[in-house]
Amino acid sequence: MTTTTSVTTGFTDDKVESIIEQLQALRPMLQEQAPLGEKLRQPTEKADAALREVGMYNLLTPTRWGGAGLSTSGLAKVQMEMAKSDPSLSWVVQILNGTSWVASLLSLIHI
């Protein structure tokens, strides 16, 4: 399946496959960390560090601001893969990315 990119938005899914591959490699560690994260009610330091390394907290942040600039459909693919490791952590990542995306819209309106 080929994904088209809008030049005006700057969003692209070029990194989706690479991110998914990285998440697949992290799956054993994320699954191991999930019970502790559930107990702590937050991501463990080890899981958080690994997700930061992959750039999971900047998936919807536009490339002009240093993020991955994924489309929402690209994010959905990544989220589905991440949920195979830890659904709760996947939810946290989705919430953080959603707020970044909303903040990026502010640059499109005149305040």
> Average of pLDDT values for 6-26?
85
Percent with pLDDT over 90 in the chain: 70
Question: In this structure, is the dihedral angle defined by the CA atoms of residues 34, 59, 55 and 3, taken in order, positive or negative?
Answer: positive
CA distance 101 to 9: 12
pLDDT score recorded for residue 6: 47
Q: Which DSSP string do the residues of 58-75 spell out, in sequence order?
A: GSSS-GGGTS----HHHH
Mean pLDDT of the chain: 89
- Give the HSE-up count for residue 13: Cα atoms under 13 Å, Cβ half-sphere: 17
Q: What is the mean pLDDT of residues 40-54?
A: 96
What is residue 93's predicted lDDT score, i.e. its pLDDT?
Answer: 95
Is the pLDDT confidence value at 5 over 80?
no
**For residue 81, how many other CB atoms are within 10 A of its CB?**
18
